[in-house]
Amino acid sequence: MTTESGYLGVTPPISTADSNEREKEVTATLMEELRNQNTFETVEEARTREAVLGRVAALVKNFVYEVSLQRGLSEAAASAAGGKIFTFGSYRLGVHGPGSDIDTLCVVPKHVSREDFFDVFEGMLRTLEGVTEVSGVPEAYVPIIKTKISGIPLDFLMARLALSSIPDDLSLKDDNLLRNLDERCVRSLNGSRVNDEILRLVPNVQIYRDSLRCIKLWAQRRAIYSNVNGFFGGVAWAILVARICQLYPNAIAGAIVSRFFIIMYQWSWPQPVLLKQIEEGPLQVRVWNPKLYPADRSHRMPIITPAYPAMCATHNVTASTQMIVTEEFKKGADIVDRVIVGTASWSELFAKHDFFHKYRYYLQVVASTDDSDLQIKWAGTVESRIRQLVMKLEYVDSLILAHPFIKGFEQMSHCISSEEVRQVAQGQISDAIIKRTKADMEGTQDASTVYSTTFYIGLLVEPKPIGSVGPRKLDISYPTREFTKLVKMWEKFEESRMGIFVRNIKSSGLPDYVFDEGERQPRQPLKRPKTGKGPGKSSNTSPDMPNKKRRSDMPVPAGPQKEDDGGIPGLSMTSAPESSKDRDLASTPVERLVKAPQHPFGEIAAVVTGAVTAQ
C-alpha cells in the first residue's frame, strides 16, 4: 500500500538505497543473537497455538449459536448468526515468543450482549478440555476474559457489531462497522484494526517483524516496556519501528535497528509520530487533535495509532519517563554504532536494566490483602495509579525525576501473629516469614496469610547547591498522601481488608527478591545509629493506616512507625500535620548530599558524612 506520491508514510523516505554488505553481516549476527535469546517459539508450540485458535473459533460460533437460540431465533437463523475471532497484539504482528499470550477479539452479532460473553462464553470456556484457568474482568476499561488452554495463555475481548450475523469473510477495515457501537466495543475493535493497518503501512513485513522483535526485546530488558507506568506499550513500539521502515523502505533489519536509535534519540518531541495522515470518520468520537483539545497538546511523546479513530498510544508519558526513554535511546544508539564498526556485540544491547543499582533512594509502595483473587484486582488498581504518584513527585523541589519500575513483586506470606501481618503490609518481610510454609502455621491462633505486591520508584535527587549551609528538606508528604487517598477512592476499596503503604528506603535496604541470583553486591556494614534507636525499625513516608480496629487477619499497617537505617539519610523529611487518616512522615538523620560532577544521567547523588573532596 503506497500513497499517491508513491511512498508509505507522511513524508518521503530518507533513503531508498539497499543495505550494504556490512549491514547484511550485522543483520545475520542480530538474527543469530535473537535466536540465542530465545525470542522465537518452537515449531511444536506454533502448532499448538494454531490448534488452540481453531478450537476457540469453533467455540465462539457455538457460543453465538446457543445465545441465538435463547433469544428465540430459529435453528437455521442461529446457525447463520456466525461469530468470528481476530487476533491482535504480538501474535497478529508476528513477533510473539515462547509463552506469549494471544490477544483474541470475539466479534459477535447485535443480539449477543456483553453479559452473555461473561455468563455464557466464560462458562463454556471453563468446561473446554485443556483449560486450566479462567478469569473474567467485566469491569475493566476494556472488559476481558483471561484463560489458558493447552498451556497457551489467551486474553479474550468482545465486540458486538450492529449486524444480525457475522460472515466468515468479515473484514474490520470498514470504518462504518463502528457505527452504533458503545465505547467499549470501539476500544475492543481498535486493537485488531490498528495492527492490521500497521502491517499494511510497512514496505516489507518480514523485515519489519525482525526489527520489531529486536526492539521489543531491548525495551523489555531495559525496563521501559509498560504503557501503564508511563513508558511505551506494545502498540507504541510497533508504530515507531514501522515509521523507521517507512523512512528506509529497502533497508534490512540490522540497518533499521541502527537508524531506529539514531532517529528516536534525536526526534523533535512533541512532534507526533504518524504512519499516515490523521483521518476523519463517520462517528461522533474524538480523534487526536492537539489544535482542538488541550489534553492532546499536553502529550509529551505522541505516537498516533493509524486506524480511525486516531488516538495517542503514549498519553501516559510523564516528564520523568520521557527523560528515561530518551536516555535509553542514546545508550542504544551508542551500542549499535559500536556493533556496526565491530567493537561491540548485539548481546550488549540486550543487557539487563540497572534499575535497582541506579539510584541511592527508592520509594516502596506495598499493596496488600488477605485474599489471592482480591489481591489481583487491588494490586492492579494500585499499579494503574502509580503514574499519578510519579507526576506529583515531579513537582517536589530537589527531585530531578521519579523513575517507576515496570512491574510489581508478588509475595505470599504466612504470618503467625498480628505483628508479622503489620510488618508484611509495610514491606518488611523477615527471613523467618519467607521460609515459613502454610503447614508451619497449623495450630497457631493468630495465623493468617497476607498477599502483597510491592512497586518501586527510583528517586534522582539534585546535588546540594555549592555554598549552601544546613540540611535540605525533601517534602514528599503531599504526593504520597494524595496517592493513598486516590487509590482508596476505588469503588471496591475495603478498609478492613486492603492495605496501602508507602515508605522511602535506601538502596542498601532493597530486599533480595528484586535481584537475580548473584546480582546483588555485598552490603556495606551498618553504621552505628546516630539517633540511638536500634536497627530493624522502619522509616516511612506514608503509612496510611485504617481507622477501624484491625482484625488479626487484616494485612493493613496500624500504629505509628519508627525509624531505621532504611530512610533517606541525606535529607530532612517534612510532612503535613498528623490526622486520623494521615500520619507524619518520619524525619531521617541529616547528612550532606553531593553529586560527583562526572556522574552520567540517571546516577543518583551520593551521600557523604564528612567533608566533600573533589573527585
Q: Is 267 helix (H, G, I), strand (E, B) or coil?
A: coil
Catalytic, out of 68, 84, 155, 538:
155
Count how many Cα atoms sit within 13 Å of the Cα of residue 379 in the half-sphere of its side chain.
22
Are 107 and 159 contacting, i.e. CB atoms less than 8 angstroms apart? yes
Number of Cβ within 10 Å of residue 470's Cβ equals 9
Catalytic, out of 7, 79, 101, 334:
101
The residues facing 404 across adjacent strands are 457
Rounded Cα distance between 18 and 28, Å, is 16
Rounded Cα distance between 48 and 54, Å, is 10
DSSP 344-398: S-HHHHTPPP-HHHH-SEEEEEEEEES-HHHHHHHHHHHHHHHHHHHHHHTTSTT
Using alpha carbons, select from 255, 249, 269 the residue that is nearest to residue 214.
255
| Known active-site residue 141 | no
Question: 228 CB contacts (<8 Å, ≥6 apart)?
Answer: 316, 383, 384, 386, 387
| Known active-site residue 359 | no
What is the grid cell recorded at 289?
A: 487533535
| Known active-site residue 565 | no
| Known active-site residue 225 | yes
Catalytic, out of 19, 65, 68, 90:
90
Rounded Cα distance between 333 and 347, Å, is 14
Catalytic, out of 65, 91, 208, 225:
225
Catalytic, out of 61, 188, 208, 216:
216
- Cis before 309 (ω within 30): yes
**How far, in whole angstroms, is CA 158 from its chain's centroid?**
23
- Give me the helices (H) in 274-371, please: 294-297, 319-341, 346-349, 355-358
Rounded Cα distance between 595 and 567, Å, is 18
| Known active-site residue 210 | no
Catalytic, out of 68, 84, 103, 539:
103
Rounded Cα distance between 539 and 427, Å, is 11
| Known active-site residue 506 | no
Are 366 and 499 contacting, i.e. CB atoms less than 8 angstroms apart? yes
- Environment class of 539 (CB within 10 Å of its CB; exposed 0-12, middle 13-18, buried 19+): buried
Active-site annotation, residues: 90, 101, 103, 155, 216, 225
